[in-house]
Structure 1
Amino acid sequence: MSTSPAGGPTRAVVVDDSRFMRTLIRTLLEDADVDVVADASNGREAISVVGEHRPDVVTMDIEMPEMNGLDAVEGIMDECPTPVLMLSAHAEEDADVTFEALDRGAVDFVTKPGGEVTSEMPRVKRELVEKIQSAAAVDLRATQRRSRPPKTETKRRPKSESTTPKPSLTALPQEGSTLVIGASTGGPNVVERVLAALPAEAGLRVIVVQHMPEGFTNRFAERLDGRCDYDVREAEDGERIGPGQVRIAPGGSHLLVTGDRAGRLTLHLSDDEPLHGVKPAIDLTMASAAEVVDAPLAGVLLTGMGRDGVEGMSRISRAGGHTVAQDEATSAIFGMPKRAIEAGCVDVIAPDGRITDETLRGIST
């Protein structure tokens, strides 16, 4: 059974301009004991319905008449703050809008169910219900303690024009130092802040594992590339990366570090089964890095539900690496970081605005 943070069934509002889609989503959720207390066919109606019913979570379509999902998210956050889960199609234009929705206050997104009933429907249902549970558990007070990043720009800002404050380094990290970041629900904007604060002269090799559906991680990489001083791309099988490069684990594949030679990491994509129900899994990437990286290594575990990343952080710690976990006050969901802290494998607990500083301090010579 899906339960709300206050106990009892999770209460949801479904927003979509398609009657068929509203019925389909309602059926999938109610079959998993989620209480759909109301639905709405456009953004304006959604704001009113959410204010009236005060649900635990809202599923939000993007394109709707009268008021679209983006404006509805902003309206809900202004008038009756409630965790919003965006339903997004597998399309590049939808990916752009979805990330803008996260900027405006949405907490996560999931691939929208297709209209036809296929053998994939059990998987779609499972993913939707899991995302509903995660979104309903989000602490909006934590997300509101952080300033929202600027809305998505249509033009890429030259890296030399970065306005994000960078830490003043008393000592540069050793050449070849490596950082592995893991994040889940509530993570994209925090990952952005951490990377945007990395000074180019630190010259880190960075790998990011963000739980995200296939088809969205490439756009996520492009977005990050325009907002930090590093070269950010989606990881490719067999590539080698060096200082000043960031690679994002592709949705639908595990990312492993298989070699560290001549200052460059060799990356491998694996199609193995999901771990902890996710693919990519933070644990596999961190553990592989701990196994092969020779230079200083740091692991950072950010907001998210579950325990993915706990074993990976433990492996990095046992290998002599530096580990940092996001604190409870700024975590949308203090699940993964809390479990890593309880496991005794975290060196520093920090708010999102100090994670970069604490990471650099820990691996600088």
Structure 2
Amino acid sequence: MADGVRAVVADDSHFMRSVISDILSDGGITVVAQARDGEEAVSAVIEHQPDVVTMDVEMPVMNGIEATERIMVESPTPVLMLSAHTDENADVTFEALDKGAVDFFTKPGGEVSMEMSRLKDQLVEMVSSVAAVDVGATRSRGGTSSDSGAVATTAGGSATGGRETGGSSSQVSYVANPTLVIGSSTGGPKMVEQVMENLPIEADLRVLIIQHMPEGFTGRFAERINTRSDYEVREATDGARIGGGEGLVAAGDQHMEVKNYRNGRLRTKLTQDEPVNSVRPAVDVTMRTAAETIDDPLIGLILTGMGEDGADGIRRIKQAGGKTIAQDEATSAVYGMPKRAVETGCVDAVLPIDDIADGIIDTITTEVT
């Protein structure tokens, strides 16, 4: 997978540049240049035209955010941020994603050289996957979705709103108590945010989000979604309960199970059981337990990401009578998880990112004559 991939490694630490370069080289990736700061990184990208850049967050002269922004303007190239595991770096890392970085990889603490060696296969795989991203094609075309019109809640717990259908105005009614389970990985944070931004609060969804992301970053991720969407979203805690209009982001390094469901409210349980599909939290765990527990309308959504996590979960949701959606290849940063989901034969719709929010709404609305 890594054969032929050319990389620029940017880090202000000579030691870290050497460690990262050695790992990538051992994994079959050619390091064409190293950079000590963001300015050197930009120059190296323009000169060498690499397939991918590993970018440290904090560097002198020009930091990783500024360098990423410059690269996206002057010579668009997939960027993988390398971030220290701190709250401050979590904020900065998400800002880098806003500027165009594809994803991030957390630098280990403690004995760095030993830890990096332990994570070398994961780093090589992620760099290879990020290198394959077309940073121009996967950018959102603005994240707009069609206006579903004014919506009024009815006494029965559903909602109605005007929608243009075939040139004439019709009324739609939302089903009662729908639950949406979203799974994503590489390139996923921006995609999840876009979907959530475009979901109307009147749909009254309960939303469970599983993004492959380390501990310390999922809380910040939940805060971003909470700020940018109409839904009240927070990081999951053991025993957390949500109802309509609320969402939970699976906490880093913990599986999120749906423990019980009653009267439109669900309760979650967090565990540190063995990783599933080599990840924790795993999409399959949440989707499987949701399918087993929730008896109201259920939707499963798989967004961009490498690997096969979520494929079995989609199968379980479909078998339980739920609806299923996968992001299409053209707008996926990495068409791994969606592809595996589609290959199960249990996906109802394959949609570009800009159409997914509407696709979700279509599964939980009916026309009212």
TM-score of the two chains, using structure 2 as the length reference: 0.89
Task: Indicate conservation of the 8 Å contact 2:85/2:109, yes or no.
Answer: no
The equivalent of 1:212 in structure 2 is 213
The equivalent of 1:140 in structure 2 is 135
Task: Indicate conservation of the 8 Å contact 2:145/2:355, yes or no.
Answer: no
The structural deviation recorded for 1:264 is 0.8
The equivalent of 2:282 in structure 1 is 281
Pair 1:26-2:21 in alignment: yes
Q: What aligned pairs does 1:30-109 form with structure 2 within 5 A after superposition?
A: 30-109=25-104
Pair 1:303-2:284 in alignment: no
Change (3 A) 1:234 1:113: same
Task: Indicate conservation of the 8 Å contact 1:166/1:197, yes or no.
Answer: no
Distance across 1 between alignment mates of 2:56 and 2:314: 36
Change (3 A) 1:237 1:166: farther
The equivalent of 1:123 in structure 2 is 118
The structural deviation recorded for 1:127 is 2.9
The equivalent of 2:247 in structure 1 is 246
* Percent identical residues: 58
Q: What aligned pairs does 1:227-238 form with structure 2 within 5 A after superposition?
A: 227-238=228-239
Task: Please state which structure has a larger fraction of its residues in strand.
Answer: 2
The structural deviation recorded for 1:23 is 1.2
**Which residue identity lines up with residue 273 of structure 2 in the other structure?**
D
Long gaps (5+) in structure 2: 150-160, 162-170
The structural deviation recorded for 1:345 is 0.9
The structural deviation recorded for 1:269 is 0.7
**Which residue identity lines up with residue 242 of structure 2 in the other structure?**
I
**Which residue identity lines up with residue 143 of structure 1 in the other structure?**
T
Q: What aligned pairs does 1:147-162 form with structure 2 within 5 A after superposition?
A: 147=142
**Which residue identity lines up with residue 167 of structure 1 in the other structure?**
S
Distance across 1 between alignment mates of 2:215 and 2:344: 31
Change (3 A) 1:275 1:166: farther
Pair 1:344-2:345 in alignment: yes
**Which residue identity lines up with residue 284 of structure 1 in the other structure?**
V
The structural deviation recorded for 1:216 is 0.1
Which of the residues 167, 171, 177 maps onto 2:148?
167
The structural deviation recorded for 1:173 is 2.8
The equivalent of 1:14 in structure 2 is 9
Q: Which has the larger radius of gyration?
A: 2
**Which residue identity lines up with residue 101 of structure 2 in the other structure?**
A
Distance across 1 between alignment mates of 2:110 and 2:27: 19
Task: Indicate conservation of the 8 Å contact 2:234/2:248, yes or no.
Answer: yes
Change (3 A) 1:146 1:274: farther
Which whole-Å deviations, capped at 9, do the CAs of 1:134-159 have from their partners, x for residues lacking one?
21122223323534x8xxxxxxxxxx
**Which residue identity lines up with residue 12 of structure 2 in the other structure?**
D
Please give the root-mean-square deviation of Cα atoms over the aligned residues, in Å.
Answer: 1.9
Change (3 A) 1:89 1:9: same
Long gaps (5+) in structure 1: 150-162
**Which residue identity lines up with residue 206 of structure 1 in the other structure?**
V
